[in-house]
Each structure stands twice: as structure tokens, then as C-alpha cells.
Structure 1
Amino acid sequence: MYKNLRGRPGAVLAAAAVAQFVLALDMSVVNVALPTIRDALGFTPLGLSWVVHGYALAFGGLLLLGGRACDLYGRRRLFALGLGVFGLCSLAGGSAQAPWQLVAARAGQGLGAAAAAPAALAMLTTTFPEGRARTRALGVWSAVNAAGGALGVLVGGLLTQYAGWRWVMLVNLPIVAAALVLLPADADAGADADAGAGAEAPTTGRKDPDVLGALLATGGIGLLVFGVLRTDTRGWTSATTVSTLAAAVVLLAAFVVTESRAAAPLLRLGLLRSRWVAGANVLVFLAAAGQFSAFYFVSLYLQQVLGLGAAATGAAFLPFSAGLVAGTVVATRLTAVRSPRAALIPGALLAAAGLAWFACIRVDGGFLTDVLGPALLTSIGTGLVLAPVAAAATTGVAPQEAGMASGVFNSARQLGGCVGLAVLATVAAHRTGQATGPAALNAGYATGLAVGAALFLLAGAVAIALLPRRRAAATTVPAAVPAPNRPKDRTPS
């Protein structure tokens, strides 16, 4: 499998890391510019929320489909296509003259990201064999991903203040171009022979996509994201929210039934019986909820309570970036010689301690006294979690299902951030009540950060309870493939 790639694994890693950086950057870089965008294009308050919601809906709703598509049609092809769409839509967004044009461009970015993100992770898992090589590659990928999310606040603040809001979209173009230039032509060498082998019906050689499963998954996840996102204006108990979430549950239940019977499923349910896959996806769901809440509430605290501007707020997030990178470096070295549990458990506990420290923020506080220490503790712990969790989620997964596993992992992370942030924002708003003063806002943000700490504690408990103490001995072959049709094992010893 790795024969034709061994000479260029560094190029595959570089392309995947640069792509993940721009996708992570885009999730936070736009947020700082929202007030300026509102004034420039004449958005209504509800319309402005769709600059964020349009991206989240398309990205979260299509990740499973994107992951499976890269198994069936080629990881390199989907990676390049997704990044191309993402770049073109970034250009369209930076050139938007009306609100609907920007919202459409953001949805297009989400569509491109839903193809590129699982393809990038799948290319890494099929290029680097399980063990130290894959752990180190995924450590670099995770560090770049974390740094992109943290630096997005800084980049967004600087660009908005000194270059104009359009550059928060246009900045993506040179990064996308760099990723495409770095992508080697043989990035899919050996993968085409495996694509679809573990998910096709044994009696055919066709690569028929699971259309019904794709429609149900996309509709179910899309409605779930939509219902959660709208709680900021509708509330959790409103008829709109309840009916939307109920429809999402119905569609997702139908998806599970469909996948259990499909000849070529979008998601082979047996994949989730792996303790590595199931445990890592539950863990990343919880960790993403805690991480997103930290970024969100600390950003609001700096601006709404301490009174910092956009650029200064962005600069205050530099310790987050440094800590995330440091945590991933330590986790990569630790996981290379031990089980991912060795980094995941202490990392989750460290992040929980940092967020609990953050929950002590004061109205009359400052950056050095209330932000720097807990930011370093939280980010180092988060880095210890994010680096090995991707490796854990792909441990024991057959090469022909790498895209499927990557789609599930990215979906869990995206949904965790979306659902967790919506829930914690509701908790914070309930604590704040109708008051708008700094003291009330501070109390709400502190409560949200305290709940975030509890989520990381729960993530640590999941790692202890679900993740095996030792790695899987070898790459597994999907149960759906009968013995005569199983692909030859080309995993190097």
C-alpha cells in the first residue's frame, strides 16, 4: 500500500497540514469581523448569524458523505476538488456586494471543506503505517489544526482593523494555492485498488454510492446543526427547536436502519464496534465542546468585560497557540512509544483544570492575572488531547475505510463544537439573565467556562473507560468482505 508513497510522505503531510490550517483558520477568522461585515453589507441581526451558520451547516452536514466519497473516488481527487471549491468560494466571499452573496459563499466554503477535511486525514492514515510514523504525522496535523483555530482570532482582528473585512476571506487564497502545489501527483498511489473494497457488495465490482444513506445523513446532521444553532434566537424549548431536533433524530434513526441493510453503506456500523473508533469519537465530541467554549467565552470576556479591541484580543490568544503546539509536541512523543491513553487522560484533566481556573475570572481582572495562566494550562492540556485522538480514531481501521473513519471523526468534532457551544452559551445566558453590565456578563462567562471544565473531565473518564490500554495488533479487515474477496494485506511489518 505504501510502496509508491514512501519517497514522498513529507509532501503528503505538508499538503494535508496546510489544508487543515486554512480550514481551521476559517472557522474563527470570520467571527472577529462580523460587526464590520454587518455595517458594510447591511446585514440584519438574524441575517448576520447565517454568515456563521451557512458554513457550519454545509460543513457539518456533508462530512460523512465527503469521507465516504474520498474512499470511492480517490482521496487526492476529493482533496483537490474540495480545496478548489473552498478557494473559489473564498474569492466570491471577499468580492460579495450583498448579504446573500456572502452567505452563499460561506455555504460553498463549507461544501469544499466537507470534502477536503476527511480526504486530508484519510491521505495521512493511508500514507503512514500505524505506529510511530502515523503518530508523528498526525501530531503535526493536529498541531497545525489547533494553531490555525487559535491564530484565526489574531489574524481576523489584525486584518479587520488594518486591511478591511474582505481580507478575512481573501487570506485563504494563497494558503489554498500552497496546499495544492505541495500535493504530490502520486498521493493516491495504491489507494485506488483499495477504494471501496471494504464497502462494496461482494457480488459486484461497481462503486455505487449509498444515495439514500447520503440523503438521510446529510438531512439528519444538517437539521441537528440547524436546530442547535437556532437556539440562540428561538430557545431550546420552542416549537421550532423541538420539531427540528425531533426531525433530525428521525432521519438519523432511519440512516442507522438503512446502513445496517445497505450493500455499500455510507457508514459501516461495524466500524463503531471498535473501542478505539467509538471511544475516540465520543472523546473528541466532548473535547471540541470544551475547546470551542474556551475560545468563545474568553474572547467575549476580553472584549465585553476587559474592553480590549479586536487586534488586542487576537494578540491575547497567542498563549493559546503556543500552548496548543507545545501540548501536541509532547503528546506526539509520548504516544509514539505508548498508547494514546498516556496523553489523552492527563491532557483532559489538565484542560479541565485550566478551564476551572478560567472560571475564576473577575470583572476588575487583567490579562496577566486572569488569562495568561489558565490559557497556558488549558491549551497545553487540549494539545495533549487533540494530537493522539486522531490517531486513536483511526487505529485498526482498514485502508479502504480510511475516508469513512475520517468523516466520522471530523463529524464528531464539528458536532461537538457546534452542540457544545450552543448548550454552554445557553447556560451562560441563563446565568446572566436580562442584565447587560460587565458583572453580569462576567458571571455568565465564568459559568460557561466551568461547564466546559466538566466536559473535559467527562472526556477523561471516557478515555479511561472506553479506550484499550494497548494498540490494536494489526489493521482490521471489514467484516462485510467475505474471505475470498478480501484484499491482500499490504501493511508492512
Structure 2
Amino acid sequence: MSAQAVDQPETTAADPRRWRMLALLGIAQFMLILDVTVVAIALPHIGADLGLQRDTLTWVVSAYTLMFGGLMLLGGRAADLFGSRRVVLLGLLVFTVASLVTGLAAGAATLIGGRVAQGVGAALLSPAALSVVTRIFHGDERNKALGIWSALGGAGSAFGVLLGGVLTAGPGWQWVFYINVPIGLVVLVVLARMLPAELSQRARARLDVPGAILVTAATGTAIYALTNAGDRGWLTTVTLGTLAGAVVLYLLFAVVQRRARSPLMDLRILTRRSVASGTFLILVATALMIAVFFLGSFYLQHHRGYGPLRTGLLFLPVAVATIIGAQVAGHVVGRLGARPVATTGLAIAALGTVVPAIWANSVPVVAGISVGAAGIGAAFVASSTTALGQVAHHEAGLASGLLSTFHEFGAALGVAVVSSVAAASIAGSSGVGFTRGFTFAAIVAAASAVLALLMVPAVKPPVGVRVHAH
């Protein structure tokens, strides 16, 4: 059967609980995304309370993102082999328990160990949950569901700034992690009863352990290199050597996949236009989102002197704009196709981002970022509908893992590039670096809009036709 085969119109009744399942899976995904920016706001208080140095504090963020991004393909493939229900529940359980351990930490070892475990749980949960969404929704409903799912990414990052300020200023930094525990347990219990039982199509296939180790090491090494490139410099021996090491590991992974009886992934999936363009879109959209959030947060806190709570409140319109952009895109992508949605979204992102580049003040900065976030939210929807719309049912978890992996690549790349471009403003009081950073982001968004016009397939989902999903 072709990997891009499409079923005949669906004859079985849709699961009446599908929207409730989406809500629960969305809450779980929201926690995973939230846990990046919510912790970033609390870092100064964590360092003061536990007596941690700056390099150790960096690992409180990096340990989570490295494991989250590095293990994503493994999580997606595990969902294909063992069933997405099992992997969702296991990932949520690991993440919830790890959140409790992290909140109870009294030193660096437990704190970072807990963050590593959180990343493992997130890497299992995120792609498996996305594969469930693509399986229980069909046709135009799937586009709307993916619109909701895509909105969670940008909104979670923006709300993390607000929630981090509220919790840190209120009950304390520990509640940045504790808050996941009751929510995670409730969602776990309800999902265990609600998610449909399933048998994997490839239940007898074995997990490719050597391939999993190699791709995890390669992705982790690449994300580590990108994360530190902004501080160390792009042309330093350490940065170039680490990136070269990642390339070598990926080449070894490719060799192993060609020889493995049950490979972790069919490398030919990356040559499909839909998957390649979808991963490109999510890479760019995430990099832009993280870059403008990073610039905006630094501008408001370090240049304008606002506190974390006030900064968080100013990010509320950014979160709302992301949700609106994704929801509108989710409603129209089925009629127009992903290409015009991606192109228009990135063009709006460019127009919004250029506002703070030419008018540096609190109101235009927040307004410009909000407009840009609406466009980025639309680009997220285009990325997921493009990458997931034409994959075979047994590849849904893998494709979700690929999409999620490039999401983490984009996050690391966005921070690394913008911290290099805006280094003068981040380190001092000059506003020149912020102007350069926003200008660079606007140029990237505009160029990506042109590339999206050329790359994204001009395909609209057929009415009443189910595309294979997990």
C-alpha cells in the first residue's frame, strides 16, 4: 500500500467522545509546552534558593529540551509499534511523577535529574498524543482539531511567561512543577478510561534500539550545539565540532536504518514533499515564535525594567493572538489548502515583527509581537496539516515525532540565532540589538513566506475522504 494512499469515505461512526479526548490530550500537551517558559521566569529564584551558579541554571532548561527533542522520534515510533494509548499514558505518568520530584528538589542533582525525566515523559507523550488526534478526527474536523493543537504551542509558551511570574511571586518556584501533579493525575485517570483500546498494526515488530540510541544522541548533540552557539559563538571550535559530531551521528543512523530488519524510520519519508515542507514550516514557525518571545521578554524586563508578573500580563494578548490565528487557519485550511495558509501566515508574521523593529516602545513591541504571533499560529496549522495529511496509518506516530523533533530544533535555533544578533542589547542597555533582532526575524519570516509558496504542495483535503492516520 502506498504511504500516501487515501481511504474511501469513512463509513464507521465517529467516536462521540473525540472532542473530550482532544481537550484532555490538549491539556497534557499544554503542560509540556508550558514547562519551557514557565521555568525560565523562575530561574533567578531557583538559583538564589538552592545556591546554584549560572551554568547549572542553564541546564535546568537545557536538560528538559534536550531529552524532549532528542527522544521524540523514539516516542513516535513507539506509538506506532506498541499503540498510542499505552505510550500516551506512560509518558503522562513519567512526566507527572518527575514534576513532583523536581518540585521537591533540594539540590542541583535532583533538580536536573527531575528535568531529564520530565523530558523523557514529554518525548513519549507528545508525538503519541498527536497521533491519537490524527486518528480520531477526519476531514474538516481534523483541520479544526489540528488548529486547536497548534494553538497550544504558541499559547503555552506565552502563558508560561505569565504563569511563571504568578507562581514564583506567589507560593514559590516549587509550584512551577507542583502544579503539573494534580492536573496530570486527573488527566491520566480520565484518559485511561476514555482512550480506545487498540492493537498496533505492527505488534510483532521490534524496536530498533541501535537506531534509537544513534538518533537520540545525534538530535541531542545538535540541539546542545545550537543552544550554546549564541553564547560561545557560531564559528568557535566547540560549536563547529559539536555540530560536526551531530552530522556524523546522523550519517551513522542512516547507515544503520538501511541495514536494520525493523528500522526506527523509513528514511524515504523525508523525501516526500508534504513531510519535507511540513517540517520546514514548523522549524521556521517555532524559531520565529521563540525568537520574538525571547526578544520581547528581554526588552520588557531588562530594557524597560518591568517585573516578571507585569511582563507576563503583557504577553496575554500574544497568547490570545496565537490562538485566534491557529483557529482561523484550522477553519479555512480545508477549503483553501495549506499553501495559501502558510504563505499568508508567514507574511503576517513578517509584517507584525517589523513593527517593533522600527518603533521601539512597550505598546508597539507588544502589538507587533501579537500580530506576528497570529501569523505564526496559522503557520503551525499549515505545518501539521501538510506533514500529517498524507502519511499512512502505521506512520502517523513517526511523522508526529518528526514534526515534534523539528519543533525542538526550531526552538533551539531561534534562541541561538537571536541571542547572537541581539547580543549587545541583551548584555547591556543599548536598544540597537533589539532592533537588529526584530529586523532579522522579519526578514526570515518574509523569505520563508516566499519559500512556502514554492515548497508546500497545492493540495486540498478531499471532502468526506479520510486520510490514513494511526
TM beyond 0.5: yes
Return the match for 1:416 from 404, 410, 414.
410
Query: Is residue 162 of structure 1 aligned with residue 170 of structure 2?
Result: yes
Is the contact made by 2:337 and 2:461 (CA closer than 8 Å) also made in structure 1? no
CA shift, 1:72, in A, is 0.7
CA shift, 1:233, in A, is 4.1
Structure 1 residues 305-354: Cα deviation after superposition (integer angstroms, max 9, x where no partner)? 11100100000001101111111121111113221223211110000111
| TM-score normalised by length of structure 2 | 0.93
Instruction: Write the distance in 1 (CA, Å) between the matches of 2:458 and 2:167.
Output: 46
Query: Is residue 335 of structure 1 aligned with residue 333 of structure 2?
Result: yes
Any stretches of 5+ residues in structure 2 without a counterpart? 1-9
Structure 1 residues 131-175: Cα deviation after superposition (integer angstroms, max 9, x where no partner)? 201101111112233222110000001111122111111111233
Q: 1:297 to 1:256 in 2, by over 3 A?
A: same
Instruction: Write the distance in 2 (CA, Å) between the matches of 1:172 and 1:305.
Output: 32
Moved over 3 A (4+): 1-5, 471-477
Query: Is residue 179 of structure 1 aligned with residue 187 of structure 2?
Result: yes
Amino acid in the other structure paired with 1:8: R
Match of 2:212 in 1: 214
CA shift, 1:186, in A, is 5.7
Instruction: Write the distance in 1 (CA, Å) between the matches of 2:39 and 2:200.
Output: 40
Cα-Cα RMSD: 2.1
Match of 2:61 in 1: 52
Query: Is residue 40 of structure 1 aligned with residue 49 of structure 2?
Result: yes
Instruction: Write the distance in 2 (CA, Å) between the matches of 1:335 and 1:50.
Output: 39
Instruction: Write the distance in 2 (CA, Å) between the matches of 1:93 and 1:4.
Output: 43
Instruction: Write the distance in 2 (CA, Å) between the matches of 1:339 and 1:401.
Output: 22
Instruction: Write the distance in 1 (CA, Å) between the matches of 2:192 and 2:12.
Output: 15
Amino acid in the other structure paired with 1:194: Q
Match of 2:76 in 1: 67
Is the contact made by 2:355 and 2:365 (CA closer than 8 Å) also made in structure 1? no
Return the match for 1:283 from 278, 281, 284.
281
Query: Is residue 119 of structure 1 aligned with residue 128 of structure 2?
Result: yes
Query: Is residue 146 of structure 1 aligned with residue 154 of structure 2?
Result: yes
Instruction: Write the distance in 2 (CA, Å) between the matches of 1:138 and 1:472.
Output: 14
Report the count of equivalent residues.
459
Match of 1:449 in 2: 438
Instruction: Write the distance in 1 (CA, Å) between the matches of 2:86 and 2:369.
Output: 39
Q: 1:317 to 1:23 in 2, by over 3 A?
A: same
Instruction: Write the distance in 2 (CA, Å) between the matches of 1:237 and 1:136.
Output: 43
Q: 1:260 to 1:461 in 2, by over 3 A?
A: farther
CA shift, 1:246, in A, is 1.0
CA shift, 1:95, in A, is 0.7
CA shift, 1:234, in A, is 2.9
Query: Is residue 388 of structure 1 aligned with residue 363 of structure 2?
Result: no
Match of 1:269 in 2: 267
Instruction: Write the distance in 1 (CA, Å) between the matches of 2:16 and 2:466.
Output: 22
- Aligned pairs for 1:214-253 (under 5 A) are 214-253=212-251
3-state SS of 2:422 partner: helix
Query: Is residue 378 of structure 1 aligned with residue 367 of structure 2?
Result: no
Match of 1:484 in 2: none
Any stretches of 5+ residues in structure 1 without a counterpart? 197-205, 478-489
CA shift, 1:69, in A, is 0.6
Instruction: Write the distance in 2 (CA, Å) between the matches of 1:292 and 1:98.
Output: 29
Structure 1 residues 6-31: Cα deviation after superposition (integer angstroms, max 9, x where no partner)? 23212321222111111111111000
Is the contact made by 1:90 and 1:170 (CA closer than 8 Å) also made in structure 2? yes
Match of 2:348 in 1: 350
Return the match for 2:458 from 469, 474, 484.
469
Is the contact made by 2:89 and 2:192 (CA closer than 8 Å) also made in structure 1? no
3-state SS of 2:358 partner: coil
CA shift, 1:178, in A, is 3.5
Is the contact made by 2:299 and 2:434 (CA closer than 8 Å) also made in structure 1? yes
CA shift, 1:229, in A, is 1.9
Q: Among the aligned pairs, what percent are the same residue?
A: 37
Instruction: Write the distance in 2 (CA, Å) between the matches of 1:414 and 1:454.
Output: 21
| TM-score normalised by length of structure 1 | 0.88
